[in-house]
Amino acid sequence: MLLTAWLSFASANEAACRTCCVEAGEDVCAPMLRVVGEESSAAGMAGDWNVKGLWLLGCDHTAYWDATATGWFDHPPVPGEVATDETSSTALKCFVQNCGFPAGLCPRANGTFPALKTCSDEREMADTDLVPKLARPQPLPVVRDAPPAPTRVVIAQPEPAPSPTVVRTTPSPPTTTIDLSVPAGPIPPCETPPAMQRESANQVNRGNDNEIAGDDEEAAGAYRAALSLDACNVHGWVALGNLANRMGDAGGAARAFDSALLLQPTHYGAAVGLGRAREALGDQHGAAAAYQQALDARPGLPAALDGLERVGVAPR
């Protein structure tokens, strides 16, 4: 009954979310948000984390637990993170613009990943923050003679972000006040002092917060500051590339993603971003090569497969 009522309410909000999708150029929004909870289970394998059991948040400020819902991450997730594919940031944007969260929760970044945290003290989301009227999620059933159960998500500190949160995917109006200039690229081997590495990471996080707040000018400045401190900060290059792509500066985006991939050739997010930038520049051959690089790093990646289809090249 609860699910039926929620679906009825959600359909009334779908038009607003679809408008968000049209503006973003992608049909990826929905009046629902999938979020990692305390009772979610995660298993790490080959650099990926497969999560089972998620909270599903509706536009009516309620949530329910789905023990069968799954998602994947390229880092160890924590409670509150939006689960999680390439569209998670767009989905969060749709929610911010058109829906509401359960009382006491606000959109925040967990490092540079989209997440929900408590509005008062920004602590990690707890299951009890989500609709106290509903029962707490039940642990996943134990099957006799089954493979070892995945570990619960209890991560004190997530690994460094491979890509910053971007919850504003609609291109901003052209402006001359935003400096998207790309700093000089890295020259490996990298020997940045640890203190500068830490401050560079802090600047990427600050830029991410500015993007969530809608301040692209401050975000761009923070990302460039991060790279001036540590030109070998892969996450800074990806952050600047994603922002440049969104702002319509395909040339700058391509240069930023080239730098990221020089440092980490298997960063499939950077490779997809590079493919999109090269598509925008009319370089179909270069775009295909970038999408294939992403697919080599992450077999089956939907964004890479879609990109290859757009440029008319079959995956290897």
Q: What is the pLDDT of residue 83?
A: 79
Helix (H, G, I), strand (E, B) or coil at 39: strand
Q: Which of 76, 45, 70 is nearest to 56 (CA)?
A: 70
Measured distance CA(16)–CA(228) in Å, rounded: 40
Render pLDDT for 241-255 as a digit per residue (tens, 0 to 9): 999 998 999 999 999
Render pLDDT for 28-66 as a digit per residue (tens, 0 to 9): 455 678 888 888 887 766 567 788 888 888 777 778 888
Q: What is the pLDDT of residue 84?
A: 56
For the residues 101-120, what does the mean pLDDT come to? Answer: 79
Tokens of 118: 């408590």
- What are the C-alpha distances in Å from 261 to residues 90, 233, 271? 24, 11, 7
User: How many other C-beta atoms can be found within 10 angstroms of the C-beta atom of residue 22?
Assistant: 11
Q: In which band, very low, low, confident or very high, does the pLDDT at 91 lie, cut at 50, 70 and 90?
A: low
Render pLDDT for 198-222 as a digit per residue (tens, 0 to 9): 999 999 988 888 887 888 899 999 9
Set out the domains of the chain in order of their start, with CATH numbers. 2-152 (no CATH), 194-310 (1.25.40.10)
Measured distance CA(294)–CA(305) in Å, rounded: 9
Tokens 């997530």 belong to residue: 158
C-alpha count within 13 angstroms, C-beta hemisphere, residue 113: 26
Q: Which of 272, 270, 257 is nearest to 305 (CA)?
A: 272
Measured distance CA(153)–CA(79) in Å, rounded: 7
